[in-house]
Every structure is written in C-alpha cells, then in structure tokens.
Structure 1
Amino acid sequence: MGRLNRRDAWGGAMSESVPVRCPACRREHVYTAPAYPCACGAPVTPSLDGTAAPTPVAHRAWDEDWVTVSCGSCGRRDQWPQPELGCPCGAVLRVPVAGTDSAPAPGPEPRPPFQPVTIRTARDVVTAAALYLRWLGYRDIRRADQRPPSGIGLAARGLVAQVDPTVRPASLRDVECLWLTAMTEDSGCVYFSLAGYADDARDRADALGIPLFVLDLTGTPQPVNELADDLNASGAV
C-alpha cells in the first residue's frame, strides 16, 4: 500500500497516512497517524506499517492499547496510544506500527503546553488522563495491578491514579479506596473524573491530600481542589 503525508496541528512536522482496508466489509479508508507532544515540545507520530494488514479489536488489553514510539527530534522513547480506526460497519481496526530503534535522550526538558485528546469514548478518558500524567513528568504509566471499585486504575513511578469515565460523580468511598490503595503501594495518588465529585468526596480528598481533576470533553484535566492546582503547576517531583 502507498503512503501519504499530511501536516499536523503543530505545523511543520508531517503526519503519516496509509490506506487501510477493513477485513470485515472490505471498505478502504485513508488513515492518518495521530501526533502527540513529546516532552521536548516536538510532535511525535508513530511510523505506520503500510505493508501489514489491520487487525480487528475483539477485546481490550492494556498492553495492546499502547505502543512505544521514538521522538524524531530528541530520541526519547515513550508509550502512546496504539493507532486505531473505526469503520462505519462497526469494526474497530488496530493499524500496524513499524518498529523503532532510537534511544532516549537523557536529561530533563521544560514542559511544553499540554495537548489534549478530544473525548468521545471511555477509552479516550483513560488516554487523556495517561497523557496528562506523562505531561506532568510521570513515567512508566501502565494499568494498575489493583482494580479500583469503579473506573480504571493507572500506575506510574511513585503514583497511583483512578480514572472514572462514567457519568456518576465520584463518591466518598471512591476517594477513600484510592487513598487506601496508595497507602498500600507507598505512593501518592490522584483522581480523574468525567462527572465531578460529591461534596463529601471533595472534602475527604482535601483532608487526605488527594488532587482531584475533572476531565472536560476537550480532554483537558481541570483542577478541582488546591492540591490539583499545585500538581498542575509543579508537575511530578
């Protein structure tokens, strides 16, 4: 299959496109690789494998939802969402990505402006939270070992996070369960909710030292309490 290039949202860098044929209905699409912001400020796009066929997504597995991509500017290797295409026939197709060999560049860089991912699905909520944690400076973001009572648990070095993509405000119990999990892991914690928080949950989070964020539909986490404001300003320390 051939390849196309398109200019991405940052301007200057090019996003890669390949033809993708749905194996279910045989309809052909042109898929454009998404661009994500590296810590150095440059846009990162996965290298698509135009010779491999897409695979339908039958079930979700955290390891299969992410792919390691190297930044072409600084060489940093980070995990980004696996490229996927939704076909009108209902199939969700995982677009193959070519391997990369670049090594990460050492040393800290200043944070560029956060680039959100528009929220359309529950998966987008989790992706937006993971991208925000990476923007804050957390590394090795993965699915948490302990599953929370509601939502999705994420973990990074020194942090556990709960992401609630439902339309129900997070409850007092949700906040306390996250805190107990963090105590067990001897780490900090943070909560992301799509629908906000009950009043007693906010009060308890303040008392326990838990930053609370609400995700708007642009995919941008909005601080709910002062602890979240401080984390947004300082990043991972």
Structure 2
Amino acid sequence: MTKSMSVRCPSCRREHRYLPPQYPCACGAPVTVSLPPTSSPVSVRHRSWADAWTEVACQVCGRNGQWPQAEFECPCGVTVRLGPGDARTRSAAAEGGERPPFRPLTIRTGHDAVACAAQFLRWLGFPGVRTAVPRPPSGVDLHGPSVVGLVNAATEPTGAEDVETIWLHALVEPAVAVAFSLAGYDRGARARADELRLPLFVLDLTGTPQPVNEAADVLMRRGAEGA
C-alpha cells in the first residue's frame, strides 16, 4: 500500500502529509512514482507540458507510461513538486505482495484472444510480452524474454501436437510455455500437457482465462516468479 510522507512547502514552510496518487496502467496494475524520503520539494514557478509529466514503468507488465509529476497546491498559493529521486517506479500490487484483479478484455475476434492472453501473461508478471498476428509459421502467438505462448482462437479443441510445438519452442528459448484456447483441449492435449507440466488455460468470450490443469493453477498462484 502506498504510504503518505511529510512534505514542507519551500515557500511558507507549512508541513503537509502527501499521498502519492496511483495511476492505472493498461494491464490493470496501479503504479506510483517512487519518492524517497530524501526527495526535495521545489516551487513550480513556470509550468511547461514537458516538465509536468514523467515516464514511469509498471513493475507488473513493464510498460512505460507518461504520468503527471508528483505535486500539490499549498494553501499559500504555491505549487509544490516533489522530485522522483532515482525515478524508479513501483507497482502498488508489488508493494502489497499481491497482484491486483485481472481486468478481462472482451473477445470478439482472434486478435482479441491473442491480446487478452498477452495481457494476462503480463499480469502474471512476465514483462515485455509481444503478440504476433497473424500467427507466424513458428506457431508462437506470444513471445517475451521468459515466456512463449500459444493462443488457439479456433472453434475446435486444441490438440496434443500444438501443445508439443509450444513446449519445444520453450526448450529452445529457454522460456516458460503457456497455452490458451477458446474451445478447450482434447484428451490427448490435456494428457500431454500434464506430462510436460505445461499450463493450459481456456478463454471465454468475456476475456477471463481459467486454468485447466494443475500446472496452470500453480502459475496462477505463484505468478512468473514461481514459474
């Protein structure tokens, strides 16, 4: 949870309790600008668009975003801005030790299914997940520094061959392999995934991934760090 800090106005010397605001990342995680206790408040005399914003990165998905600088209006009439120190950011979820609730992405097309799965992997803690639409010859729909993913948006269940394909790609990377499917998995795919301990998720049209096997349950509980 974000904690408030004591800040003294550099003009009138009045002391304030300042609570850094949280900003909504596209992945659903709230982020705040990291303000060390030694941060020095300054008076804003001349405002400019460039100075009013700062770039911060979400610690859940790694996405960089432009957010307002940490500042407030003192009753004396001065705008007080707090320097971000080393400019590192932290996720409110990471501070509390828990991930925020996943925000589903409604699925209307195959592209939506891939985007939803990518967002879900970022939510689990895999940074830099990229999507590939249409599917490349490799059969890998999602690719990140530590994860590869298969997304089957067809109306037929995913088979064992697709499961083995994404698993082999994960061996080469090396990376964690994860599979998503709109129509579920046939018996062969489930059995093979259990042998390989490969997480299987099924997607519904609301964009809420549901774990299908034990490996997926474990990934849901532990996130990327426990994969």
- Same-fold call, TM > 0.5? yes
Q: Flag the 1:74–1:38 CA change in 2: closer, same or farther, 3 A.
A: farther
Gapped runs of 5+ residues in structure 1? 1-12, 16-34, 43-71, 81-98
Which of 108, 123, 139 is 1:135 aligned to?
123
What's the TM-score once normalised by structure 2's chain length?
0.60
Runs (4 or more) in structure 1 with deviation over 2 Å come to 35-42, 72-80, 99-104, 106-110, 146-150
What is the aligned partner in structure 1 of residue 136 from structure 2?
A: 147
Q: How far is 1:100 from its partner?
A: 3.8
Which of 14, 25, 29 is 1:39 aligned to?
29
In structure 2, C-alpha distance between the alignment counterparts of 1:233 and 1:73, rounded to whole Å: 33
What is the aligned partner in structure 2 of residue 122 from structure 1?
A: 110
Q: How far is 1:121 from its partner?
A: 1.0
What is the aligned partner in structure 2 of residue 227 from structure 1?
A: 215
In structure 2, C-alpha distance between the alignment counterparts of 1:135 and 1:235, rounded to whole Å: 8
In structure 1, C-alpha distance between the alignment counterparts of 2:57 and 2:201, rounded to whole Å: 28
Deviations 1:208-236 (A, max 9, x none): 11000000111010000011011011111
Paired amino acid for 1:189: A
Paired amino acid for 2:130: R
Q: Flag the 1:73–1:135 CA change in 2: closer, same or farther, 3 A.
A: farther
Q: Please state whether the residue corresponding to 1:113 is helix, strand or coil.
A: coil
**Corresponding position: 1:105 with 2:93:** no
Q: How far is 1:38 from its partner?
A: 3.8
Q: Flag the 1:135–1:176 CA change in 2: closer, same or farther, 3 A.
A: same
Q: Flag the 1:36–1:184 CA change in 2: closer, same or farther, 3 A.
A: same
What is the aligned partner in structure 1 of residue 178 from structure 2?
A: 190
Q: Tell me which structure has the larger Cα radius of gyration.
A: 2
Please list, as runs of the form range in 1=range in 2, the aligned pairs for 1:201-212 lying within 5 A after superposition.
201-212=189-200
What is the aligned partner in structure 2 of residue 89 from structure 1?
A: none
Q: Please state whether the residue corresponding to 1:170 is helix, strand or coil.
A: coil
User: What CA RMSD, in Å, does the superposition of the two structures yield over aligned residues?
Assistant: 3.3
In structure 1, C-alpha distance between the alignment counterparts of 2:164 and 2:153, rounded to whole Å: 18
What is the aligned partner in structure 2 of residue 8 from structure 1?
A: none
Which of 25, 38, 56 is 1:75 aligned to?
56
Q: Flag the 1:73–1:231 CA change in 2: closer, same or farther, 3 A.
A: farther
What is the aligned partner in structure 2 of residue 50 from structure 1?
A: none
Structure scoring higher RCO (CA < 8 A, sep ≥ 6) equals: 2
What is the aligned partner in structure 1 of residue 75 from structure 2?
A: none
Deviations 1:148-171 (A, max 9, x none): 565x52112211111111111111
Please list, as runs of the form range in 1=range in 2, the aligned pairs for 1:80-99 lying within 5 A after superposition.
none
Q: How far is 1:104 from its partner?
A: 5.5
In structure 2, C-alpha distance between the alignment counterparts of 1:186 and 1:113, rounded to whole Å: 29
Q: How far is 1:106 from its partner?
A: 4.3
**Corresponding position: 1:167 with 2:148:** no
> Contact 1:148 / 1:177 at 8 angstroms: preserved in 2?
no
Number of equivalences:
157
Q: Please state whether the residue corresponding to 1:128 is helix, strand or coil.
A: helix
> Contact 1:41 / 1:112 at 8 angstroms: preserved in 2?
no
Q: Please state whether the residue corresponding to 1:217 is helix, strand or coil.
A: coil
